[in-house]
Amino acid sequence: MSDNERINRILGKIEEAWKAYPDFRLGQLIATVNQTNGVSDIEDVDFERNLDKWISLWKGVKQND
C-alpha cells in the first residue's frame, strides 16, 4: 500500500539532492545514494536515510566552495 506522505517526502529530498548536483543523471544520483547499481533490494526507509546523509554531505561541500 502506498503512503503519499512518504512518497512526497522522498521525492522532495531527491529533488533537493538533484538540484545540488544537476549534472548527475537520475540513475546516477540514485545509485550514488544507494551505494549500488541496483535499487530493487533497498527499503524506502533505508534509501531515505542514505539520501539524508548525502544531502548533508553535499550541503557541507557546497558551503566550503
Indicate if the pLDDT at residue 11 is higher than 80. yes
**Ramachandran quadrant class, 36 (left: phi over 0; alpha: psi -120 to 50; beta: rest):** beta
- Grid cell, residue 29, equals 544520483
Predicted confidence (pLDDT) per residue in 30-42, tens digit = 988 887 656 777 8
Query: Could you tell me if 29 and 14 are in contact, meaning their C-beta atoms sit under 8 angstroms apart?
Result: yes
Indicate if the pLDDT at residue 63 is higher than 90. no
Amino acid at 45: V
pLDDT range class, residue 52, cuts 50, 70, 90: very high
* CA distance to 13, 45, 54, 65, per residue, from 10 (Å): 5, 9, 13, 27
- Total domains in the fold of the chain: 1
- Higher pLDDT, residue 60 or 24: 24
Indicate if the pLDDT at residue 6 is higher than 90. yes
Query: Could you tell me if 9 and 47 are in contact, meaning their C-beta atoms sit under 8 angstroms apart?
Result: no
Say what the pTM is.
Answer: 0.78
**57 is in which domain, residue-wise?**
4-64
